[in-house]
Structure 1
Amino acid sequence: MQIVKIILALFLPPVAAFLQVGLSKHFWLNILGTICGALPGVVHALWLIVKDKQA
């Protein structure tokens, strides 16, 4: 499942963040980062997955 989340993080960062942490502050932070630019959203989503953050 980790590989699927990483692939989603590259193409749809908010979806990957949602699958990892649910509707927490990290999800909304990822939405904001993705709106500001694709790269911040991707980096944040990958960070959530690699660090194995949970809600």
Structure 2
Amino acid sequence: MDRLLLIIISIFLPPLAVLLKKGLGKDFLINLVLSLIFLVPGIIHALWVVTNPDY
């Protein structure tokens, strides 16, 4: 998927961006919990997953 589109999705729907990039797994669950507790950590985590090629 296009990286720019994933970055935009990360800002508005962080768990969806992680789901599209990594699939349904631990990264998605971590991001879902972070987003439910407080949105900013979820956005930061999603941006990290989307922009870091080694993650």
| Structure 1 length-normalised TM | 0.92
User: CA RMSD, aligned part only?
Assistant: 0.7
5+ residue gaps, structure 2: none
* Post-superposition CA distance 1:6-52 (Å, at most 9, x none): 00000000000001100010000000000110101000000001113
5+ residue gaps, structure 1: none
| Correspondences of 1:1-55 after superposition (within 5 Å) | 1-52=2-53, 53=55
Task: State the alpha-carbon separation in 2 of the partners of residues 20 and 41 from structure 1.
Answer: 15
Letter matched to residue 25 of structure 1 = K
Letter matched to residue 35 of structure 1 = L
> How many aligned positions are there?
53
| Structure 2 length-normalised TM | 0.92
